[in-house]
């Protein structure tokens, strides 16, 4: 089984189109250092990749994709540069290089008569998660699978090393390459293009609440980094989980149904999604414990199960020209995270799952936890170096159970390089958790994307079923009142 190694130190021979060693030492105009967060994603245990799965309603024309990638992705310096270690000071820098698009676009020959195209695509993507991208080229690639599945006529699989940018940067890069199907000249719109507001202090009491919530979050963060580990459950990954291949499965629910629950309970869309996720996790764990210990064995009481929830720290989610990494200042890894506790227990009223999620998220919103985690990682890097910062980051992630992310997608049907998009499914692999749940909206659907370690969670399809069924139970409970 191929492992995902640390890329430090890099030993790369640059070609004739790249600056010479002397130019590199002088700090030429074309060189740019990797940010601390980008370097963190090269440390052992944090060598994370972002994967983007895109289903097309038509067969994919590879020549069209290649031509357009040259005029979009390759204009972005991060997608046309190597990441090279400066042996003088130990830092890493972007070094521009000549890119052969055929080295990055992979089109395997497929058997049109295969027994199950859906299983083949799932297996293919799983295999990608077990092998890193060669560090002798820019750290991204695209795999085109031109075979009909139950969801699409063709499937594109993008892989990006997390050092290239965070999920918001990469999502916006992809969306900047799309257009509305109803208006081929217009960029798609996200649910909100307004500037995001910082945590606001409206009164003395709210200011105290923010300080208190932030202090509690700080204490929990430090305790987690030192010793506080989640309960060992059938979802908790074992040591070395970041090096194992993963399964990626998706399941969708109606966006209108989620909006119906949101309106009925006067909560946010994120509260509904988190509540349904909490209910689905309980349902799945109850089944796993019952299978192991006998019928009707419930989930143990008072288990500690937390998610690392990621927050975008940028001021805007507006889709712009993301081929320019300097003009907008929106590239890089500008994300913070919070440690979100789930109450994994049976609730007589299914709506209590959403009420609990809202109460927890309200506390998280009334704190500076995401900004703190982002700033703290940078501070540790500056004071103690990348190795210490990497070990701290890994410890926090490993001691929790899962990653969770919720990203708004286009509100209308879109096309990518002229191909109408059937679905979008972003996720990650290489993280020291056995499970990631990524939620993305597109048009009239909300899709749960599961990234699961095959050894810890051998049946991620069942987990998808549980998430979907839990939401339907919540909706039915509202309809019956």
Q: How confident is the model at residue 21 (pLDDT cuts 50, 70, 90)?
A: very low
Mean pLDDT taken over the chain:
86
Percent of the chain with pLDDT strictly greater than 70? 86
Cβ-in-10-Å burial (0-12, 13-18, 19+) of 369 comes to: buried
Residue 73 lies in a domain: no
Q: How confident is the model at residue 169 (pLDDT cuts 50, 70, 90)?
A: confident
Q: Say whether pLDDT at 18 is over 60.
A: no
Query: Tens digits of per-residue pLDDT, 396-444?
Result: 999 999 999 988 889 899 999 999 999 999 999 999 999 999 999 999 9
Query: Tens digits of per-residue pLDDT, 64-114?
Result: 999 999 999 998 888 999 999 877 777 888 999 999 999 999 999 998 889
Give the tokens for residue 67: 């031509």
Domains identified in the chain, total number: 1
pLDDT number for residue 11: 31
Q: Say whether pLDDT at 191 is over 50.
A: yes
Q: Say whether pLDDT at 224 is over 70.
A: yes
Q: Of 191-205, 280-294, 459-473, which has the strongest mean pLDDT? A: 459-473
pLDDT number for residue 449: 96
pLDDT number for residue 12: 31
Q: Say whether pLDDT at 197 is over 50.
A: no
Averaged pLDDT, 366-374: 89
Residue 468 lies in a domain: yes
pTM of the model: 0.87
Total length of the chain = 481
Give the tokens for residue 150: 């139950």
Residue 150 lies in a domain: no
Distant-in-sequence, close-in-space partners of 426: CB < 8 Å, separation ≥ 6: 50, 51, 52, 53, 167, 170, 171, 407, 438, 440, 449
pLDDT number for residue 291: 83
Transcribe 86-121 into DSSP letters.
-TTTS-EEEEE----GGGTEE-----TT-S-HHHHH
Q: Say whether pLDDT at 296 is over 70.
A: no
SS in 3 state form for the chain? CCCCCCCCCCCCCCCCCCCCHHHHHHCCCCCEECCHHHHHCCCCCCCCEEEEEEEECCCCCHHHHHHHHHHCHHHCHHHHEEEEECCCCCCEEEEECCCCHHHCEECCCCCCCCCCHHHHHHHHHHHHCCCCCCCCCCCEEEEEECCCCCCCCEEEEEEEEHHHCCHHHHHHHHHHCEEECCCCCCCCCCCCCCCCCCCCCCCHHHHHHHHHHHHHHHHHHHHHHHCCCCCCCCCCCCCCHHHCCEEEEEEEEEHHHHHHHHHHHCCCHHHHHHHHHHHHHHHHHHHHHHHHHCCCCCCCCCCCEEEEEEEECCCCCCCCCCCCCCCCCCCCCCEEEEEEEECCCCCCCCHHHHHHHHHHHHHHHCCCHHHHHHHHHHHHHHHHCHHHHHHHHHHHHHHCCEEEEEECCCCCCEEECCEEEEEEEEEEECCCCCEEEEEEEECCEEEEEEEEECCCCCCHHHHHHHHHHHHHHHHHHHHCC
Residue 195 lies in a domain: no
Q: Say whether pLDDT at 448 is over 90.
A: yes
- Order the strands of the 435-442 sheet from edge to edge: 246-254, 445-453, 435-442, 402-407, 305-312, 335-342
Residue 460 lies in a domain: yes
Q: Say whether pLDDT at 445 is over 90.
A: yes
pLDDT number for residue 13: 34
Q: Say whether pLDDT at 278 is over 70.
A: yes
Higher pLDDT, 167 or 195: 167
Q: Say whether pLDDT at 387 is over 60.
A: yes
Nearest one of 64, 149, 154, 53 to 101, comparing CA atoms: 64
Task: Please give the biggest Cα pair distance in the chain.
Answer: 74
Residue 179 lies in a domain: no
- Order the strands of the 32-33 sheet from edge to edge: 32-33, 92-96, 81-85
Residue 419 lies in a domain: no
Contact between 432 and 241 (Cβ < 8 Å): yes
Averaged pLDDT, 211-235: 93
Chain centroid offset of residue 334 CA: 13
Averaged pLDDT, 326-338: 68
Q: Which residues pair with 296 in a beta bridge?
A: none
Number of DSSP helices (H) and strands (E) in the chain, helices first: 12, 16
CATH value at residue 297: 3.30.559
pLDDT number for residue 195: 43
Candidate list 162, 286, 394, 438, residue with the active-site label: 162
pLDDT number for residue 166: 86
Q: Which residues pair with 435 in a beta bridge?
A: 402, 452
Contact between 445 and 254 (Cβ < 8 Å): yes
Asked if 71 is an active-site residue, the reply is: no
Contact between 312 and 334 (Cβ < 8 Å): yes
Nearest one of 55, 478, 51 to 276, comparing CA atoms: 478
The sign of the CA dihedral 422, 426, 430, 431 is negative
Nearest one of 79, 9, 81 to 39, comparing CA atoms: 9
Give the domain extent around 314: 204-406+444-479
Q: Say whether pLDDT at 36 is over 50.
A: yes
Q: Say whether pLDDT at 322 is over 70.
A: no
pLDDT number for residue 319: 64
Supply φ then ψ for residue 161, to 5 degrees.
-70, 140
Q: Say whether pLDDT at 19 is over 50.
A: no
Residue 252 lies in a domain: yes
């Amino acid at each position: 089984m191929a492992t995902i190694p640390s890329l430090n130190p890099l030993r790369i021979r640059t070609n004739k189109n790249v600056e010479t060693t002397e130019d590199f030492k002088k700090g030429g105009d074309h060189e740019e250092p990797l940010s601390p967060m980008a370097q963190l994603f090269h440390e052992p245990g944090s060598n994370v990749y972002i994967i983007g799965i895109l289903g097309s309603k038509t067969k994919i024309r590879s020549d069209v994709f290649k031509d357009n990638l040259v005029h979009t992705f390759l204009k972005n310096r991060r997608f046309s540069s190597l990441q090279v270690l400066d042996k003088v000071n130990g830092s890493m820098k972007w070094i521009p290089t000549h890119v052969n698009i055929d080295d990055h676009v992979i089109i395997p020959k497929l058997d049109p008569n295969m027994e199950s195209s859906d299983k083949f695509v799932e297996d293919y993507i799983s295999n990608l998660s077990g092998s890193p991208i060669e560090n002798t080229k820019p750290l991204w690639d695209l795999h085109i699978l031109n075979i009909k599945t139950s969801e699409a006529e063709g499937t594109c699989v993008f892989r990006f090393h997390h050092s290239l940018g965070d999920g918001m940067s990469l999502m916006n890069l992809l969306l900047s390459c799309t257009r509305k199907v109803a208006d081929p000249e217009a960029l798609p719109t996200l649910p909100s293009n307004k500037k995001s507001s910082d945590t606001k202090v409206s009164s003395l009491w709210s200011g105290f609440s923010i300080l208190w919530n932030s202090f509690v979050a700080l204490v929990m963060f430090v305790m987690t980094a030192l010793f506080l580990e989640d309960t060992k459950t059938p979802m908790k990954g074992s040591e070395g989980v970041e090096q194992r291949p993963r399964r990626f499965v998706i399941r969708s629910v109606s966006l209108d149904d989620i909006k119906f629950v949101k309106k009925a309970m006067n909560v946010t869309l994120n509260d509904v999604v988190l509540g349904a996720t909490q209910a689905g996790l309980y349902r799945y764990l109850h089944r796993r414990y019952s299978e192991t210990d006998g019928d009707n064995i419930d989930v143990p009481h008072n288990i500690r199960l937390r998610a690392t929830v990621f927050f975008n720290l940028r001021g805007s989610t507006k889709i712009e020209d993301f081929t320019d990494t300097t003009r907008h200042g929106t590239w890089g890894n500008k994300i913070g995270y919070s440690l979100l506790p789930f109450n994994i227990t049976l609730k007589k009223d299914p709506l209590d799952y959403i009420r609990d999620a809202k109460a927890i998220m309200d506390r998280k919103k009334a704190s500076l936890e995401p900004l703190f985690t982002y700033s703290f990682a940078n501070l540790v890097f500056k004071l103690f170096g990348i190795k210490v910062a990497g070990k701290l980051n890994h410890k926090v992630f490993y001691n929790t159970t899962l990653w969770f992310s919720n990203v708004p997608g286009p509100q209308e049907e879109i096309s990518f390089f002229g191909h109408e998009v059937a679905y979008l499914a972003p996720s990650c692999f290489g993280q020291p958790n056995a499970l990631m749940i990524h939620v993305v909206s597109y048009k009239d659907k909300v899709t749960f994307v599961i990234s699961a370690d095959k050894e810890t969670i051998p049946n991620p399809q069942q987990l998808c079923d549980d998430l979907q069924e839990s939401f339907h139970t919540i909706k039915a409970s509202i309809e019956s009142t």
